[in-house]
């Protein structure tokens, strides 16, 4: 006698079926299972099962928290309470970082092959860089909040830790991209700014180096500033290569899915952190580089470095705003269809970089406008204008006086121009 067929199961097709006879994939997640069998509520996962689901993509949370702590410390208009709030965020970030690190170590302990798998995974592997960015932000916060409250030992400790971190991020940038290039075959139609994350540790190196160099002796500060500039350059160039791939995807294919669009903000970070890093390094170089740097005592290298860094920062600053605006429009158009994912932390930390870059631009743009005075002083030192112009003009002492006045230090730009008016043939 044939047995009655349960409508929840197909006749030998291997699929579960709902009450209407439609097949249901029970492994597709709790949402599909709950809709198919509402009475069969899934049991809560054990702590062990939750721990093994911790991934590198949790660390953008500490990137965002650490970035906020540093941003609060860099506010141009501040008060004691704001500094206290910044310290709270800094301590909270350390707690979160240690917690996530302990959990992911527990995951790798329970599943030893999970570490290797995480570095080869087509999406999780990119977030390995977020772990190292979090460390850089903690070091920056430690210098900002702990440096003024400690002694000489902290200065030495930060110098040692900086060089250890610099070596580690170089290893990460090389090996991580090598693994991706060797083992993955990624589709350009799925390209995301998250592909930049293995280079992100170098993108925050400029600001870290500038912050650490501020408390170092001159010989150490010069080394750290130079290393910071080189690291920032490597991160920026790697980001440019990924930018080309990402923009090709946006041109040739559709925008990312609604829930992935917050990840578009990651593209803001490279330009923002590079802008802020270059200006911060230039500001530090202005007060740190010795007069005989590069064996050219006649040229104030610090002043020259500072001026060029501001110009370079302004050159790319607007690009960060463009990426931020593009991402904002893309997110707002699909905000009602979005579901939470860990990529949502990209709404925070890249825009923190943009805010820091904007603060650095605001702090230096006035100096940049008035910086032509430093250029004239530099020109004075390089040419010895009093002697050379007198010899050049010979029988025209009036011309020598005009040009000498125009090149004299300590007078305003308007006075320089007025001194040159008779010689330029301008009638006012």
Neighbours of 294 (CB within 10 A): 10
**Exposed, middle or buried by CB within 10 Å (0-12, 13-18, 19+), for 327?**
buried
Q: Is residue 424 pLDDT above 80, yes or no?
A: no
Delineate the domains of the chain, giving CATH numbers in brackets.
1-43 (no CATH), 49-370 (1.50.10.150), 376-424 (no CATH)
Rg over CA atoms, the chain: 29
pLDDT at 10 over 70: no
Of 129, 117, 263, nearest in space to 198 by CA: 129
Q: What is the pLDDT of residues 258-306, one digit of tens each?
A: 888 998 999 999 999 999 999 999 999 988 888 778 777 767 888 889 8
pTM over 0.85, yes/no: no
The three-point CA angle 128-130-135 to 5° equals 110
Average pLDDT, the chain: 80
Q: How far is residue 143's CA from residue 154's CA, in Å, rounded to a whole number? A: 9
């Amino acid at each position: 006698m044939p047995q009655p067929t349960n409508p929840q199961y197909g006749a030998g097709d291997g699929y579960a079926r709902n009450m209407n006879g439609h097949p249901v994939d029970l492994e597709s997640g709790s949402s599909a299972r709950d809709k198919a069998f509402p009475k069969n509520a899934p049991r809560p996962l054990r702590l062990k099962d939750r721990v093994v689901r911790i991934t590198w993509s949790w660390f953008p949370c500490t990137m965002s928290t650490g970035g906020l702590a540093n941003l609060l410390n860099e506010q141009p208009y501040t008060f004691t309470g704001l500094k206290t709030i910044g310290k709270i965020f800094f301590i909270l970030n350390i707690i979160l970082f240690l917690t996530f690190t302990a959990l992911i170590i527990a995951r790798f302990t329970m599943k030893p092959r999970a570490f290797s798998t995480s570095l080869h995974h087509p999406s999780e592997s990119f977030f390995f860089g977020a772990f190292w960015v979090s460390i850089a932000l903690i070091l920056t916060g430690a210098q900002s909040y702990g440096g003024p409250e400690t002694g000489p030992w902290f200065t030495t400790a930060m110098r040692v830790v900086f060089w250890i971190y610099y070596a580690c991020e170089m290893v990460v940038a090389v090996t991580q991209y090598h693994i991706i290039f060797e083992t993955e075959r990624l589709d350009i139609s799925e390209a995301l700014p998250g592909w930049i994350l293995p280079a992100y540790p170098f993108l925050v190196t400029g600001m870290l180096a500038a912050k650490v160099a501020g408390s170092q002796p001159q010989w150490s500060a010069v080394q750290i500033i130079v290393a910071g500039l080189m690291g920032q350059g490597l991160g920026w160039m790697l980001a440019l290569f990924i930018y080309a791939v990402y923009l090709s995807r946006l041109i040739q294919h559709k925008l990312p899915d609604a829930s992935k669009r917050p990840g578009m903000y990651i593209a803001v970070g490279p330009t923002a952190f590079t802008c802020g890093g270059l200006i911060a390094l230039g500001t530090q170089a202005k007060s740190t580089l010795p007069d005989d740097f590069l064996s050219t005592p006649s040229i104030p290298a610090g002043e020259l470095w500072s001026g060029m860094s501001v110009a370079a920062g302004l050159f790319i600053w607007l690009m960060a705003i463009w990426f931020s605006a593009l991402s904002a429009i893309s997110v707002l158009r699909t905000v009602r269809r979005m579901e939470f994912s860990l990529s949502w932390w990209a709404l925070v930390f890249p825009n923190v970089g943009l805010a820091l870059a904007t603060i650095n631009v605001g702090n230096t743009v006035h100096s940049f406008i008035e910086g032509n005075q430093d250029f004239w002083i530099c020109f004075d030192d390089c040419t010895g204008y009093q002697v050379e112009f007198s010899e050049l003009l010979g029988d025209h002492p009036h011309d020598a006086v005009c040009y000498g006045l125009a090149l004299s230090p300590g007078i305003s730009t308007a006075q320089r121009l007025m001194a040159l008016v008779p010689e330029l043939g301008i009638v006012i």
